Amino acid sequence: MTTNMRHLSLWLDSLPADLTRPVGTPLAGDRTVDVAIVGAGFTGLWTAYYLSRRDPSLRIGIIEAEEAGFGASGRNGGWASALFPASLDALARASSRPEAIRMKRTMIDSVDEIARVADLEGWDIRWSKGGTVVAARTPLQWSSAQEEVAHARSWGFGPEDLQLLDRAEAEQRIGATDVLGATYTPHCAALDPARLVRQLAGAVARSGVSIFEHTRARAIEPGVVRTDAGDLRAEIVVRATEGYTRTLAGQTRTLAPVYSMMLATEPLPERTWEQIGLKERETFADGRNLIIYGQRTSDARIAFGGRGAPYHWASRISPDQDRNAAVHAALWEVLVDLFPAVSSAAVTHTWGGPLGVPRDWWASCGLDRSTGLAWSGGYVGDGVTTANLGGRTLADLIVGEQSDLVSLPWVGHRSRAWEPEPFRWLGTNIGLRIMTSADEKETRTGRRSRTAALFARKLGH
């Protein structure tokens, strides 16, 4: 791993030396394999991992523009959660009630699948399955928390899946200000995503998979990946590019690259943690519309992030967008508001990167046998666990195994394309403003924003 990768996140900057060694080399001329994968993040690497174990005779090649873990896989919030971007109701409308429940249960099981593989392989990924606590800090958020738990009960998910915590119970887990109560689910683990992606990449390379780093894919076509260094030909071609999908020819409107930003504090003393809580390294958020997320890291920092960065014209992606001073300052204000005890702590890292967002907020995966083109993505920021499920599902689809995974309701789903510019730019940034103003209005008036609810429905929730 080159030194310029370290500045991309706390996680990459903290890697031990043995996880920074190169796992691939550039493509040099035309090659032929059985399965070509574009993208050496979680999706591409998990697909290669499970494929190589299902059929060790397969020749697998991965094309990566930078280095393994360069994108969201090395920069995310470190939540291995059971969250899926489309709601149970949306899943049921597209399939059936039992299938929607099966999708949720599979996501829950997939959290433990990551831990199973890490344990099997002997990976240290700083795993702690402390669950997620979402604080309700206004009367409206408290009402929404109660409705969320009631909705879960109506779908057959009990207290072992989602609990409603009163004020005293919530404060035992999270020492945030103004807490009226919270929801808690055990189905989430905090982890170090860079340690996971780099150890996964190493395991994949050792299994015989060719990882062609520093090789930029220009186009994906049936039977071939076009790159500046040559063509990688294969019967099956997998798109695993998530927020960078727009860099491929003809894919500008497939997924919108929406930036999420993060910061990390210095390691905090125990007296500060006595006030903050999170004793089990629970991941945390609160009930606002504009998403925030955080975790207590294994070395006693807070890693904290959220949305709020603008969408850039024509889905533009560049390194200068990985940091946004205004958004990082706003995140710090939110963190100090949540936990005043951190106000004197130093911020040691700030970073960000693009997420892949489909037009209808539906993650999907699939394989078109007629063209040999496969894909998994559109995770909307919930990709650590979903990418693992996507990798397992693609492996089953490619080898033709009729498992329970290949009939899940997200398999084969096709999201419609995003609107052309200027409508994509206008709609995405107007949506950002709607969610920001909704939080301000709801705090001020104590009433739900109808505009924000309508916007969420338009996105398929």
The domain ranges of the chain are: 3-76+193-251+360-407, 419-461
Return the CATH number of 3-76+193-251+360-407, one of 3.40.50.2300, 3.30.413.10, 3.50.50.60, 3.40.190.290: 3.50.50.60
**How far apart (Å, rounded) are the C-alpha atoms in residues 211 and 293?**
32
97 exposure class (CB count in 10 Å sphere: 0-12, 13-18, 19+): middle
Q: Return the amino acid letter for 202.
A: G
Place of tokens 């071939």: 224
Number of residues that this document lists for the chain: 461
**How far apart (Å, rounded) are the C-alpha atoms in residues 215 and 211?**
10
Inter-axis angle of helices 97-121 and 383-399, nearest 10: 90
Give the largest CA-CA distance in the chain.
64
Q: List average pLDDT for each run of 10 residues in the chain, which is 461 residues long.
A: 89 97 96 98 98 97 98 98 97 98 98 98 98 97 97 98 98 98 98 98 98 98 97 98 96 94 98 98 94 97 87 77 91 98 98 95 97 98 97 98 98 94 73 59 58 46 42
- Eight-state DSSP code of residue 411: B
Question: Among candidates 243, 244, 222, 239, which has minimal Cα distance to 231?
Answer: 222
98 exposure class (CB count in 10 Å sphere: 0-12, 13-18, 19+): exposed
**Beta-sheet pairing, 224-227 with 181-185:** unpaired
Neighbour order of strands in the sheet with 236-239: 210-212, 60-63, 35-38, 236-239, 373-377, 364-368
Between the two ends of the chain, the Cα-to-Cα distance in Å is: 39
Place of tokens 């130093």: 346
